[in-house]
Amino acid sequence: MTRAVVLLSGGLDSAVALAIAREQVGAGGCFAISFDYGQRHGHELAAARRVAGRLGVASERHVVVRVGLDAIGGSALTDTRIEVPKGRGAGGAGGAGEMAHGVPVTYVPARNLVFLSCAAGFAETVGASRLYIGVNAVDYSGYPDCRSEFIEAFERAANLGTKAGVEALARGEVGGALRVCVPLVRMSKAAIIRRGAELGVDFALTHSCYDPVVRDEQALACGRCDSCVIRRRGFEEAGVRDTTRYA
């Protein structure tokens, strides 16, 4: 049976990536990995646990890896001294916000490189031959580590840098032992939401907001950060009811 490791952030995209992985390799083949990386909010990890549970990944198949990216600094998501941008409109070709002007301040240096590397190690440990990551080059074109060229280069490095990879290459298996799957990379947010809805993803379990408001121990989306604006517009365009709880 093919085994897959899915990078699960607790956001909408990675929830849909997990649902797609589940459809492709079966629920019994799915493992998940999440990261506690000094992000400002623990809500993402709580959401990742809810999503994993709902989509049939038992807790012993879901690891949370602590990675101290806050020690490295350089991002609004790990450094409270840098403000998360708001209210300028976000993403897309016509956007006036951070997404439209090169790399946003919410970029975390080498984040996906670090996360994929840990996931490659976990894949090797559990014997998985696929990694799924919900990167998207449409709305997140400002993030270099969300593009296909990066993913392909990473896949090669991961195969050359792991035991499973070099053994497969030595047996003549083209590409090595590990394939990195990016099912969402060319999809619009609306298309991702429609695909998730078809696969039964409960979007209310997911958390996308960069700057949530906590009320009665619940994290409510701010509705104004880049991530919220892209998400809200996606539901509108998809014609799917937005069950996000806004502040």
Point out which residues bind its own copies (CB under 8 A): 63-69, 71-74, 103, 107-114, 116-118, 120-122, 124-125, 144-145, 147, 149-150, 153-154, 156-158, 160-163, 165-166
What DSSP element (H or E) covers 89? Answer: none
Q: How far is the CB of 245 from its own copies (least distance, A)?
A: 30
Strand 218-220 to strand 213-215: parallel, antiparallel, or no bridges (unpaired)? antiparallel
Output 72 or 220, the one with its CB closest to its own copies.
Answer: 72
Judged by CB, which is closer to its own copies: 112, or 244?
Answer: 112
Smaller CB distance to its own copies: residue 42 or 161? 161
Distance of alpha carbon 179 from alpha carbon 26, whole angstroms: 17
Q: How far is the CB of 35 from its own copies (least distance, A)?
A: 9
* SS3 (DSSP) at 238: helix
Q: Which is nearer to its own copies, 58 or 103 (CB)?
A: 103
Residues 187 and 60: their CA atoms lie apart, in Å, by 31
Q: Which is nearer to its own copies, 30 or 219 (CB)?
A: 30
State the minimum distance, in angstroms, from the CB of residue 138 to its own copies: 17
Instruction: Select 66 or 241, whichever has its Cβ closest to its own copies.
Output: 66
For the CB of residue 221, give the shortest distance to its own copies in the complex, in Å. Answer: 27
Query: Other C-beta atoms within 10 Å of 187: how many?
Result: 20
**What minimum distance in Å lies between the beta carbon of 157 and its own copies?**
4
For residues 13 and 17, what is the distance between their CA atoms, to the nearest angstrom? 6
Q: How many residues does the chain have?
A: 247
Q: C-beta of 82: minimal distance to its own copies in Å?
A: 12
CA distance 227 to 208: 6
Give the pair of three-digit tokens for residue 234: 């996606």
Judged by DSSP in three states, 146 sits in: helix
Pairwise CA distance, residues 24 & 16, whole Å: 12
